[in-house]
Amino acid sequence: MEDKAQIQEAIKSQGEVVRKLKSEKASKEQIDEEVAKLLALKAQLGDDGKTQFVLKTPKGTRDYNPKQMAIREKVFNTIIRCFKRHGAETIDTPVFELKETLTGKYGEDSKLIYDLKDQGGELLSLRYDLTVPFARYLAMNKITNIKRYHIAKVYRRDNPAMTRGRYREFYQCDFDIAGQYDAMIPDAECLKIVHEILNELDLGDFRIKVNDRRILDGMFAVCGVPDDKFRTICSTVDKLDKMSWEDVKKEMVNEKGLSEEAADQIGEYVSMQGGMDLAERLLQDHKMSQSKQACAGLSDIKLLFKYLQLFHVTDKVVFDLSLARGLDYYTGVIYEAVLTQASAVSAANEAQNGANAEESVSVGSVAGGGRYDGLVGMFDPKGRRVPCVGVSIGIERIFSIMEQKAEASPEKVRTTEVQIMVASAQKNLLEERLQLISELWNAGIKAEVMYKKNPKLLSQLQYCEEAGIPLVAILGEQELKDGVVKLRVVATREEV
Amino acid sequence: MEDKAQIQEAIKSQGEVVRKLKSEKASKEQIDEEVAKLLALKAQLGDDGKTQFVLKTPKGTRDYNPKQMAIREKVFNTIIRCFKRHGAETIDTPVFELKETLTGKYGEDSKLIYDLKDQGGELLSLRYDLTVPFARYLAMNKITNIKRYHIAKVYRRDNPAMTRGRYREFYQCDFDIAGQYDAMIPDAECLKIVHEILNELDLGDFRIKVNDRRILDGMFAVCGVPDDKFRTICSTVDKLDKMSWEDVKKEMVNEKGLSEEAADQIGEYVSMQGGMDLAERLLQDHKMSQSKQACAGLSDIKLLFKYLQLFHVTDKVVFDLSLARGLDYYTGVIYEAVLTQASAVSAANEAQNGANAEESVSVGSVAGGGRYDGLVGMFDPKGRRVPCVGVSIGIERIFSIMEQKAEASPEKVRTTEVQIMVASAQKNLLEERLQLISELWNAGIKAEVMYKKNPKLLSQLQYCEEAGIPLVAILGEQELKDGVVKLRVVATREEV
């Protein structure tokens, strides 16, 4: 594309692509993307000497402005405080891993992994989650016991839906307990943590669904699903939160080749929800009780509920046989938290997008996790297993909700913590201002000064109001003579 | 390499490479790298069904373990506290940018940029620093005034030297002030910030070298350097902190084709160090004063020193004409902070590496920055300029020093903040322990419990000692009957 005529031709045809999309009323994102390509082509031409760059962030990513960062910091602080309260240490791993470290861990989703260009040296990929790097870290350092949290960005070449908080670069907040312990004690703590965090963040009512991979597998077995179809049928069940049972059944029968009878039996089980009582009933169920696996899972669910009662969190927890979770590596208990109360703002949002607000009772998963006892062993040369259980907080959705809340609130989000502004009432007091602010900084006080020799008092006061700075120290010649500083409370104009 | 025989051949020849390096006593890093390749080949063979993976992080990267994270958190807190004290907001940008955003910003260093693989869609690169994304952010959002900090990882495909804190993935801590202000006021604040941070981190004595790109350019002009050689001669001058003047001169004359006379004149100037007095002297210098640019720079240096006096930081600041800084985009004041007191540990380290401890007075740059008034304009379609000045804290070197300090100190680094352990003196008290710890968590107390049904009291107490948990609540049947809990101070064994 070095040749000008060639570029001009490309611009022409790209222009048509954009026009066509617009006439078809394609999605804004799709149009934006094609417009970006067009601008890039025009920039290559560069004969107007102006637009040399397309000014944007990569698809599916965003900058955080100071206001968003203030909200993000608040959410992180709540989460980290909870993780620390539960005695977790923290680790960090590189943003990229050897490509082979990620190979074979994500099933079909592997196609969403970002690879780095081969510039000579190792083949690298951006991390897809924090769990696989954690397992690699444990195996590499031969760690058999740790309780750690890890908050960092992960990368997925997925179709972004940024208004719903789905990005290609996004944060994960993971808490995991690794080690050989007595059943369900660490698992219960993970659920307690989800409960504490969602309570503290005050996002409205929520529900934590719980199930067990062994119960699912046992159920598939007793319903007559062939062994080699467990995983694929499991991922179809996982779609029950987005699709009706009829459509799920259709997929099982028509696409996955399951018998109608087996599908119907599954359908009966996956409609069940309850608590410890349901686990007890299923242990007596003449079919379910034939599966050793299912029984092991059901007994553990009972135990889990017993511990959750001691933690006083059973009000939010439901044993739900339709919960499957997508990832391959889970081996035991799995769980997922959903907000059940569409907040006013998000309901309005859904309505805008043409969805029925009535339907949007569940605004989607905000936390999830489970037990994965086999993953670390995949990295260990001798296959030594390190049992793990963990939870990941879906922070981007939470950011979205908090941002909408902040927008809707009349209260202003402060982006700095400045306590005092050093101002002057007359000209030629820059030196005095600098001297005073230096003393304040040295005393650990958060302070600002305007970077002008002779700023107007009014503009200094205005700056305070805009930035929400509560106090202003006003220097004047008379005060300097008297050896005092006038302090004014910005909101009330009170002076001392 | 799909064919087994081919792989086996490759393993054989790679094995020889490793043997040869070992016999040559090559560096550990070099050997490790080749061993990794060997292991990767063996893994490909995979016929023993064991080692399928090379368990390592990518070249030039590392994991942070909990101890390192605890140190990192402490350093970050100090730095962030300082940035906030000075009223900075914070922003975040994606880890990758459109490739073209980075193009043409880093001169020769562009070859060190990590590119992502073209998987369809946009061409992307990992960010190389935080300054270019910041400029892109300002131009994109048409922001003309901001004081912001940004702490994040950046990526350079450089030759790693991990023992000296040089990585391919590393943190930058940037503080920048953008906006049209009166001369040298924000610039002086940047130096004040460096002074505060290095003082608080307590890394030993330091010196902040200051110079101005306009003084360098003026100096080059009056010394007879041709215009088109300014930048390349500037990068040679930049090597003066690592090379002797003789070698620098040789490079100027032999490689860059400068006349011996011009080089000698430069040599005279770049040996000069001083304070405000030196700036005054040079303003009178018959040659230097011929350059308008140099005079503008020198006047600003004078002004800068005046403000630094008001901040009481001139004791650490030196006007040093040999300071050049590598990056192209600086347009005014530049500065760099170096530790002058090789701490005991790092001196020992240098000695191990065969260097003369006497020579290692300067352990290298720990902060640097300057004024770049043209960068934002490169992104603006209309070329609108937003003057900027900033500083970047070289955090990885600081981590290295702090880690060495922590290693050398008898004090143990705690990796959690747990205040109390809930323990039991007898069997069958799991439920009571869980109930109590739940109450503690709900009260915001950092607490742990062992994930065993019947842990031994001794092992619970041992855990406290290892983890540095100061208190333990011991449940016993008698105490439960009496409705009390026994509290023990772990260190003194005192009980209440």
| pLDDT of res. A342 | 58
Beta-bridge mates of residue A89: A148
Say yes or no for a CB contact (<8 Å) between A122 and B59.
Answer: yes
Mutant choice from B44, B82, B97, B98 vs A, greatest count of A C-beta within 10 A: B98
Superfamily of domain A66-408: Bira Bifunctional Protein; Domain 2 (3.30.930.10)
Best of A35, A48, A57, A134 to substitute, by most chain B Cβ atoms within 10 angstroms, is: A57
pLDDT band for position A478 (cuts 50, 70, 90): confident
Return the structure tokens found at A294.
Answer: 């299912």
The verdict on A65 touching B (C-beta cutoff 8 Å) is: yes
Write the pLDDT tens digit of every residue in A209-225: 999 999 999 999 999 99
Q: Are B228 and B315 in contact (CB under 8 A)?
A: no
- Among B117, B431, B440, B462, the strongest candidate for a mutation testing the A interface, having the largest count of A CBs within 10 A, is B117
A453 part of contact set with chain B, CB < 8 Å: yes
Q: Please give the span between the terminal C-alpha atoms of chain A, in angstroms, as a whole number.
A: 70
What are the residues whose beta carbons fall under 8 Å from the beta carbon of B129, sequence distance 6 or more? B154, B172, B392
Is B307 near chain A, with CB under 8 Å? yes
- Asked if the C-beta of A439 comes within 8 angstroms of chain B's C-beta atoms, the answer is no
A415, A420, A425, A428: CA torsion to nearest 10: -90
Asked if the Cβ–Cβ distance from A153 to B65 is below 8 Å, we say no
Q: Report chain A's C-alpha Rg in angstroms.
A: 29
A438 vs B66: CB contact, 8 Å cut-off?
A: no
pLDDT tens digits, B122-167 = 999 999 999 999 999 999 999 999 999 999 999 999 888 877 778 9
CA distance B250 to B256: 9
- Residue A45 pLDDT class (50, 70, 90 cuts): low
Using an 8 Å Cβ cutoff, are B320 and B273 in contact?
A: yes
How open is the CA angle A58-A64-A70, to the nearest 5 degrees? 165
Predicted pLDDT of residue A351? 44
Dihedral (CA of A144, A142, B460, B408) sign: negative
| Domain B420-489 top-level CATH class | alpha beta
A101 at the B interface (CB within 8 A)?
yes
Residues 139-168 of A with CB under 8 A from B: 139-141, 146, 148, 153, 155, 157
Whether residue B342 is predicted with pLDDT greater than 80 in this model: the reply is: no
In this structure, what DSSP letter does residue A445 have? Answer: -
Of A130-134, A356-360, B28-32, give the lowest mean pLDDT range. A356-360
Name the nearest CA neighbour of B317 among B302, B328, B331, B327: B302
Q: What was the pLDDT predicted at B354?
A: 44
Residue scoring higher pLDDT (A31 or B304): B304
Q: Are strands A420-424 and A365-371 parallel, antiparallel or unpaired?
A: unpaired
Residue B420 near residue B475, CB atoms below 8 Å: no
Domain ranges of chain A: 4-45, 66-408, 420-489
| Longest distance between any two alpha carbons in chain A, whole Å | 95
Determine, for residues B89 and A307 on separate chains, whether the beta-carbon distance falls below 8 Å. Answer: no
How confident is the model over B317-335, as a mean pLDDT?
Answer: 91
Chain A residues 329-348 within an 8 A CB cutoff of chain B: none
Return the residue of B nearest to A420 by Cα. B87
Q: Within a 13 Å sphere around the CA of B120, how many CA atoms are in the beta-carbon half?
A: 6
User: At B176, phi and psi to the nearest 5?
Assistant: -135, 150
Which of B69, B87, B126 minimises the CB distance to A91? B69
Tokens in use for A483? Answer: 């050896």
- How far from A200 is each of A203, A408, B435, CA to CA, in Å? 8, 20, 20
Identical fold, A66-408 and A420-489: no
A416, B84: Cβ pair inside 8 Å? yes
B454 to chain A: closest CA residue: A182
- Cα(B135)–Cα(B91) distance, integer angstroms: 12
B117 interface with A at CB cutoff 8 Å: yes
Chain A contact set for B95 (CB, 8 A): 95, 126, 153, 155, 169
Higher pLDDT residue, B405 or A342? B405
Count of CA atoms in the C-beta half-sphere (13 A) of A363? 28
Q: At a CB cut-off of 8 Å and minimum separation 6, what does A25 contact?
A: none
In the block, tokens 């539960």 appear at: A86
- Whether A55 and B417 lie within 8 Å, measured CB to CB: no
Nearest-angstrom CA–CA distance, A397 and A348: 16
Q: Do the chains contact at B438 and A97, CB–CB below 8 Å?
A: no
Residues of A in contact with B56 (CB under 8 A): 98, 140
Q: What is the pLDDT of residues B236-283, one digit of tens each?
A: 998 888 889 999 999 999 999 999 999 999 999 999 999 999 999 999
Residue of A nearest to B442 (CA): A196
Distance from the Cα of B242 to chain A's closest Cα (Å) equals 28
Question: Is the CB of residue A179 less than 8 Å away from at least one CB of chain B?
Answer: yes
State whether residue A200 sits within 8 Å of chain B by CB. Answer: no
Considering only residues B325 and B433, tell me which one the structure prediction assigns the higher pLDDT. B433
How many Å lie between the alpha carbon of A85 and the closest alpha carbon of chain B? 4
Q: Does B396 touch chain A (CB under 8 A)?
A: no
Please check whether residue B45 touches A, CB under 8 A.
no
Residue B254 touches partner A, C-beta closer than 8 Å: no
Closest CA to B319 of B336, B331, B307: B336
Q: How far apart are CA A196 and CA A209, in angstroms?
A: 16
Query: Which ipTM did the prediction report?
Result: 0.83
pLDDT, position A21? 79
B382 to chain A, any CB pair closer than 8 A? The answer is yes
> Cβ atoms within 10 A of the Cβ of B316, count?
18
How many angstroms separate the most distant Cα atoms in chain B?
Answer: 95
pLDDT digits (tens, 9 = 90+) for B91-134: 999 999 999 999 888 877 889 999 999 998 899 999 999 999 99
Contacts of B64 in chain A (CB under 8 A): 91-93
Mean pLDDT rounded to a whole number for chain B:
88
The rounded distance, in Å, linking the Cα atoms of A420 and A428 is 20
Asked if A76 is an interface residue toward chain B (Cβ–Cβ < 8 A), one would say no
Query: Taking CB atoms and an 8 Å limit, are B63 and A87 in contact across chains?
Result: no
Residue ranges with strand state E in B296-382: 317-320, 333-339, 365-371
Q: Is the dihedral of CA A31, A33, A35, A41 positive or negative?
A: negative
pLDDT in tens, A401-429: 899 888 888 888 899 999 999 999 989 99
CA distance A222 to chain B (A): 33
- Record the tokens describing residue B148, joined without a space: 């912001």
> What pLDDT does A473 receive?
95
Q: Do B148 and A122 touch (CB under 8 A)?
A: no
Q: Using 50, 70 and 90 to split pLDDT, how confident is the model at A440?
A: very high
The Cα–Cα gap between B366 and B189 comes to 17
pLDDT at A348: 45
Measured between alpha carbons, how far is A154 from A95 in angstroms, rounded to an integer?
8
- As to burial, measured by CB atoms within 10 angstroms (0-12 exposed, 13-18 middle, 19+ buried), residue A390 is buried
Residues of B in contact with A431 (CB under 8 A): 310
Instruction: Say if B427 is an interface residue toward chain A (CB within 8 Å).
Output: no
Can you say how many angstroms the Cα of residue A171 is from the centroid of all Cα atoms in its chain?
Answer: 5
pLDDT in tens, B182-228: 999 999 999 999 999 999 999 999 999 999 999 999 999 999 999 88
In terms of CA atoms, which chain B residue is nearest residue A464? B87
